[in-house]
A and B are shown apart, each in its own frame.
Chain A
Amino acid sequence: MKPAAPDPMSSPSAPDVRAAAQPSPRIAEPRKLSYPAIIASVLAAALSTALVELLTGLQQDRITSLLMLAVAAVMVMIVLTSMLIRKNRHALSLAHVLARQNAQLAQTTRLLNDAQRIGRLGHWMSDETGEFAVWSEELFDIFGLPPASRVSFAKILEIVHPEDVGTYVRARDRSRATGCAFIQELRIIRPDGQVRWLRIEADANDPSEGTQSRFGIVQDITERKLAEIAAEQARLLLMDAIESLTNGFVLFDKDDRFVMSNTTFREMFPSWTVLMRPGVSFSDLMRQAYDHGLIRPKGDRFEEWLERKRAWHLGGSRMIERRELNGRWIQSVDHRISDGGTVCLVTDITAFKTVQAELEQKLAYVEAIRSDLERQKQELEATGAELRAARDAAEAANRAKSDFLAIMSHEIRTPLSGMVGMVDLLRGTSLTGEQKRYTALAKESADLLLEVINDILDFSKLEAGRLQSECIDFDVPNLIQSAVSFMGEKARKRGLDLEVTLAPGLPQYLEGDPTRIRQVLLNLVGNAIKFTEQGSIHVRASHRVRADGAIDLTIEVVDSGIGMSPEIQAQIFDPFVQADTSISRKYGGSGLGLAICKQLCTIMGGSIGVDSELGRGSRFWFEAKCRQGDALVLPAEPVVSAIDRPLEILVAEDSPIIATLIHSLLVKQGFKPTRVVNGAEAVAAVLKKPYDIILMDVQMPEMDGISATRAIRQLPGPEGHVPIIALTANALVGQREAYLAAGMNDYVTKPIQPPLLFAAIRRCALPQYADAPPLQPGSHGQLEMFVS
């Protein structure tokens, strides 16, 4: 009994969201569903009627017919009631749907507002005039205005930033005139003072609608805009930085396409600038540059070159230097950056290269100089070696010369001494007047020759530096007096006065080199005598105490002789110089005397000089550096009295042969020798009787010569003053000091040479033998030469 279709039952019971969104179809649905129900009811009524007629037709009773009719009526009523109920239920369902749709609408509106709030976006709709607009809620928030039903355009213009008003109005007017869509970004100053960036959009007008009202949105884009501004500022900063680079700067993106270059680069490569369009790839750029003749790879085909170039470009961070076609030097390095792009930095290093080239040139120059110097140095070294060799040769030659001189002098001197001795002996025999004259001349010549030889010997030794200075105590007045009196006879013979003046306060004793002082003094006095025809010679001695306690002993020799010109004075102390060659003919001499004196003074730490005037005489002076001296053990001044008898000579010598030899020599000379064999016997002999001279061997058994001399010097009375001559085989400077310090007066070296022995005896017996002086100044020094 349910013939109705299920749709009307099911439709309202299944309302859904889609239905709510499509209200129109939903309202039509109940009407459509009721047709089948009506049809069914009519069919049921018709069927009931037909059935009743059929039954009637079959001759049933009327009651049955009526009953049948009633049943049909009931059935119709049931159907109708059912239809009514069903209609009521549908109305209820519709109300429910409506309420739900209202709720959904409110929610949708709320969501829309929320969406606008979150998106900082509102919509508006202007009226026909454009003077007023209706705003969405959010729009008031965006503008900072209280909500209102409508907002005037004038109000908006008040709020828009004054700088943006003009643009905005023009754009809006244009849009309204054309009906085109309108988008404008502008600033507003809200009533609370905030400045906001807005994006205003208006939809295009649909001309078919024929209305001037517009719909649009407004979005607050302040955050985005500020970020954009910040980004732009950052970009500008970066650009400024890139622009300020003195390097050329080129940027390629990760696909190796050109992005940008800076001005420096464009100025460096103006012809490249036109090729460098953003987006062009590195390879294409190179190809174009090649086509434009900006690149000329040497020796390579272009594609091969490009391949290498690209590998370098992408390899990154490898610096290269190259010379451009325009002659400039370029240094470039390509760096890969984090996004895969490439930054190319290009530097013009032409100036640097120029400086470098100059430096290299200078370096080459310096190198040339250095090698030149090196070569010069080598030459100098070679020269130096040659010079050294030459010097060594010269020194060797000089030594050989000195040796030769020493030997020759020895060879000459020895026989000459013999000759002098022989002449002396000869003069002691009975001679005719003529023979006496000849022997006197022979003696004079021999003495002169001996003097010259002695000078040469001395000088050669001084030159060889073999002479040392002594430092012993000596008696100053005694030294001067004895030297002067040694020359006294010579002066007297020439009719010259020879005077000595000792300055007041002159020390009695000094420590120095009396031998050298005596030698210099004798030389100067000898010269003075030689060059003074008449008048006097004056010897003056003085001293000066230096700050360090040293004492300069100054001795002057002033003569009234021929004098000298300044030219002569200037060279008179040079060796082998005489005032005049005629002088050497007239006066003789080696010309070495003053040179020797000068060297001797130098050795003594002193100096020598002369003041002279031609025809007015000369003043020679010399200084010797001495120290304060002590009194001698005993004054060593020989005391030999002038006597007529033969000299009594004590010979202390342990060697019988030497003793015999000396004894024979002395006897032959007319002396009276006494022999003892050691020092002790010598002392004992002196105590027994006085002797005029003692010849004392230094090295003897029992008591040696030095000890014996000291012992004798300790004796009281005249015995203690007897002159003592050392006999020694060791006449070295140091040892001689010891002998003299012990109180010996003189010495004779072995081998015993008769002339030297006799000379020493004569020196000690000065007053008697002063007129026959074979001894020459400096003979002390010469003696050293005989010690071989």
Chain B
Amino acid sequence: MTTAADVPLIDHDQLELLQAALDPGELRAMLVQLPSAADQALSAINAALAAGDLPQARKAAHVLKGSASSLGAARLAEVARTIELELMTAGEIEACLPDLADIIVATSDELARWAERA
């Protein structure tokens, strides 16, 4: 099992693929959406756990996984995947959420820098 820390923060290949297929403005517009979408996912996971709805928490993680991976946020996607598929209990997921929050922040910063460069 790979841990989130083993996965690079950003999948540059994926971003370059996107860069190749999209206008820079479009790409930037999408990249800036990710942090808020990730925060929403985090909130949704928290809310689902509070409601004791583990499947809902996993669905939220699944959506986050798809978005993050497609936008090159590799480590964020890995954490989301772990929450969706590997963590068995609400407690485990809750324990993972601080990491998730940290990674969202780090990813946001990195993507912002990338978007500026692009």
Contacts and interface: CB of A to CB of B under 8 A. Distances in A.
A451 interface: no
A665 B26 CA distance: 10
A210 B70 CA distance: 167
Contact of A414 (B13, B33, B63): B13
Contacts of A665: 21-22
Contact of A664 (B22, B65, B72, B77): B22
Nearest to A410: B13
Interface in A704-734: 729
Given A661-B71, A664-B30, A753-B14, A655 B66 contact: yes
A699 B33 CA distance: 21
Given A661-B18, A750-B70, A753-B14, A729 B33 contact: no
Contacts of A417: 17
Contact of A699 (B14, B34, B59, B72): B59
Contacts of A421: 17, 20-21
Nearest to A414: B13
A751 B69 contact: yes
Nearest to A758: B21
Contacts of B17: 414, 417-418, 421, 753-755
A6 to B, nearest CB: 156
Nearest to B85: A730
A654 interface: yes
B67 A657 contact: yes
A661 B14 contact: no
Interface in B11-51: 11, 13-14, 16-18, 20-23, 26-27, 29-30, 33-34, 37
A422 interface: yes
Contacts of B77: 751
A658 interface: yes
Interface of A: 411, 414-415, 417-418, 421-422, 425, 654-658, 660-661, 664-665, 668-669, 697, 699, 701, 729, 750-755
Contacts of B67: 655, 657-658
A660 B11 CA distance: 19
Give the residue among A421, A665, A750 with the most B Cβ atoms within 10 A.
A750
B13 to A, nearest CB: 5
B20 A754 contact: yes
A753 B13 CA distance: 10
Contacts of B33: 656-657, 660
B60 to A, nearest CB: 11
A447 to B, nearest CB: 17
A157 to B, nearest CB: 133
Contacts of B65: 729, 750
Interface of B: 11, 13-14, 16-18, 20-23, 26-27, 29-30, 33-34, 37, 59, 62-63, 65-67, 69-72, 77
Contact of B70 (A654, A661, A699): A661
Given A668-B21, A699-B59, A754-B20, A657 B34 contact: yes
A752 B66 CA distance: 8
A668 B27 CA distance: 12
A422 B69 CA distance: 22
B51 to A, nearest CB: 16
Contact of A655 (B13, B21, B27, B63): B63
A668 B24 CA distance: 12
Given A658-B70, A668-B26, 9 more contacts: A414-B17, A415-B16, A418-B16, A657-B30, A661-B70, A750-B66, A751-B71, A754-B18, A755-B17
B20 A418 contact: yes
Given A656-B37, A657-B34, A699-B62, A750 B69 contact: yes
B38 to A, nearest CB: 9
A751 B65 CA distance: 9
A578 B13 CA distance: 34
A668 B23 CA distance: 8
B108 to A, nearest CB: 13
B30 A660 contact: yes
A782 to B, nearest CB: 16
Nearest to B33: A657
Contacts of A699: 59, 62-63
A418 B16 CA distance: 8
A355 to B, nearest CB: 71
Nearest to B64: A655
A754 B21 contact: yes
Contacts of B23: 664, 668
A393 B5 CA distance: 28
A761 to B, nearest CB: 13
B97 to A, nearest CB: 20
A658 B68 CA distance: 9
Given A418-B16, A664-B30, A657 B21 contact: no
8 contacts: A655-B63, A658-B66, A660-B30, A664-B27, A697-B66, A699-B63, A701-B59, A753-B17
Contacts of A751: 11, 14, 66, 69-72, 77
